[in-house]
Amino acid sequence: MGLGSGGGSLSPHHGSSFSDNLEKLTHHFPLSPTGYFGVKGQGGKGTRNIVVSNPARMAYKFQSLAGRNPSSTRRIEGKGHIMTMADGTVITYRYFSSSKDRSPVVELKIHGSPGVKTQKIHFVQKEHS
């Protein structure tokens, strides 16, 4: 339902759906049969970790693939940006989280892609052996 008149309406009528981008995304970032990316995080339900040697680059790549051709993008000053996809899925990219390692984060609030769950993904630095 629309909310009224004004200049801020971001109705997701154009652009790609999240599901349109899923094939390329899962080619680079596999999706589990239960609908999650990465491995279970320690934060509990819906928190995931993708452990990589270059977290900032991989987080950027993930959100670029997931959010290709969005209906809208809003920059969040000093934090990242938030994208709306045509199917109503909302993707939030944060340069860093409040965790000790300040790992970058991509949040997926899924709408219309039943095979993928709403989740918050931390991109965590791989420990060098």
Binding region for other proteins (CB under 8 A): 1-12, 32-34, 36, 40, 42-47, 72, 74-79, 82-84, 88, 90, 92, 97-99, 107, 109, 118, 120
Listed in sequence order, the residues at least 6 apart from 95 whose beta carbon sits closer than 8 Å to its beta carbon are 56, 79, 80, 104
Start-end of H helices in 29-119: 55-66
Enclosing H/E stretch for 25? helix 18-28
Start-end of H helices in 52-116: 55-66
**Nearer CB in complex with other proteins: 52/108:** 108
**Nearer CB in complex with other proteins: 53/101:** 101
Q: How far is the CB of 88 from other proteins (least distance, A)?
A: 6
**Nearer CB in complex with other proteins: 100/128:** 100
